[in-house]
Amino acid sequence: MPPTHGMLAPLVLAVAAAVAYQRLTQKRPYTGDPAQQRVVILGASSGIGKHLALQYAARGAQLLLVARRRDRLEAVQAECRGQHARTTCEVVVGDAADEAVLAAAAAAARERLGGVDVLVLCAGVTSIIPFEQVCALDAAAAAEPTASAASAAGASASAALVERIFRTNVFSPIMATKHFLPLLRASKGQILVISSAAGIMAAPTRPIYTASKHAMTGFFKTLRIELAASGVSVCIALPGTVDTELRDAAVDGMGATSKYRGSAGISADECARIIIAGADRGDREIYMPWFYGVAHVLSLILPGVVDHFAAKKYKLA
């Protein structure tokens, strides 16, 4: 009996889906000389970004580091230069949330490195208080003897906090990608995105940070599909809690005292090691620790169970 159109349609769709899945999930492992990699790292003066810089430097990479704290950035630069005889390390001092700084960094990469093979997007800020406490910042600001210029102009303290987090965690990596993409297309390079487990699951007591990381992850998952035919790959790192200064520097000012700080987590050095190994393999996503990948799947199947454990982790249950 000859196949009918009704019989062929599911088969064609299945084949098309299989081809699309294979195309979009295939890995492109790095097989070149690590000492030939030209690596740009935004947010390189501390935490994960610093340790990524040191570990890429230990392989002999050619580095361009961007951060706003000159003293810390130059200290990292000196450490990187001592890691390997072939390593070079240039710096651009400035806030990665400033598009002019990003444009200058892309120009410096073109002039000093001759291009970019890996763009690491690691600059980020956080807030570690529940949403109602974010809202309460307005009343606290209003009670101050002298209102800030921003408050006088009509911008609330809570709005300023949300804007700062989204500007650093969302606007900055998107604009950085805009400026570096021509260089990455030329090299068929890699965008290495340092997101968070909070970028795929709920993280109570961190609602604004979680929202920003969901936006970041969503953008780069979409960009990966758009760039699939260009040779530019996107690897998204999704670490859980990492022992860095991020929480101490929380923009809500509660980093040192908040009861919602959470545990110390893995070291920044170990986190960087796992990220670079995953990036070299050409992984689409890197979960740290591995069980966050399981938790992500479970959150889709048994959301109530995952919510319960999330509430316990952050002392809400």
Average pLDDT over residues 138-157: 68
Q: pLDDT tens digits for 253-268?
A: 765 555 555 566 899 9
Percentage of the chain beyond pLDDT 90 is 68
Angstrom distance (rounded) from CA 166 to CA 133: 18
Q: pLDDT tens digits for 42-93?
A: 999 999 999 999 999 999 999 999 999 999 999 999 999 999 999 999 999 9
Q: pLDDT tens digits for 98-136?
A: 999 999 999 999 999 999 999 999 999 999 889 999 999
Average pLDDT over residues 214-233: 97
Angstrom distance (rounded) from CA 123 to CA 224: 20
Q: Which two tokens stand for residue 251?
A: 């923009």
Angstrom distance (rounded) from CA 271 to CA 273: 5
Angstrom distance (rounded) from CA 48 to CA 90: 18
pLDDT at 144: 73
Report the candidate in 177, 55, 82 with the shortest Cα–Cα distance to residue 123.
Answer: 177
Q: pLDDT tens digits for 190-211?
A: 999 999 999 999 999 999 999 9
pLDDT at 212 over 50: yes
pLDDT at 21: 45
Average pLDDT over residues 137-157: 70
Q: Which two tokens stand for residue 285?
A: 């996503």
Q: Where are the domains of the chain?
A: 30-313
Average pLDDT over residues 140-151: 63
pLDDT at 18: 46
- In terms of CATH, what superfamily is 30-313? NAD(P)-binding Rossmann-like Domain (3.40.50.720)
